[in-house]
Amino acid sequence: MSLLVILFVKLLDPVAIILGVLNGYFSRSIAVLIALSVAIAVVVELLLRATQLTRTFNAIELIIGFAAAFAWSGLVYSIRRKAKQPMAAKPEKPE
């Protein structure tokens, strides 16, 4: 249960949202999307560690942060790819 709460909080993190949206918009391939999602998760964890002195490193939270960053990035990436595709012409019905 607590892992779902952490995922929900990570999905609502404004820094991760902004960086994830930028990642999804400017990425050209899935490999870049994955690599930058890992970088976003690390940056967010480092920012949290810098501002919260009692916080310790936790690999599970880093993985959940990656999932949240990848979710935002993947959402924007798929919307952008769908918008770039030309609309297929509808075949006319024979009468």
In a domain, 64, yes or no: yes
In a domain, 92, yes or no: no
Q: What is the mean pLDDT of the chain?
A: 89
Burial class (CB in 10 A: 0-12, 13-18, 19+), 16: buried
Q: What is the pTM of this model?
A: 0.82
In a domain, 75, yes or no: yes
pLDDT for position 85: 79
In a domain, 35, yes or no: yes
In a domain, 55, yes or no: yes
Digit-coded pLDDT (tens) for 40-69:
999 999 998 889 888 888 899 999 999 999
CA 44 to chain centre: 12
> Average pLDDT, stretch 77-83?
91
In a domain, 14, yes or no: yes
In a domain, 90, yes or no: no
In a domain, 93, yes or no: no
Q: Minimal CA–CA distance to 37: which of 8, 65, 10, 3?
A: 65
Cα distance between residue 45 and residue 40, in whole Å: 9
- Counted domains in the chain: 1
Residue 35 domain boundaries: 10-83
Q: Which two tokens stand for residue 71?
A: 């979710």
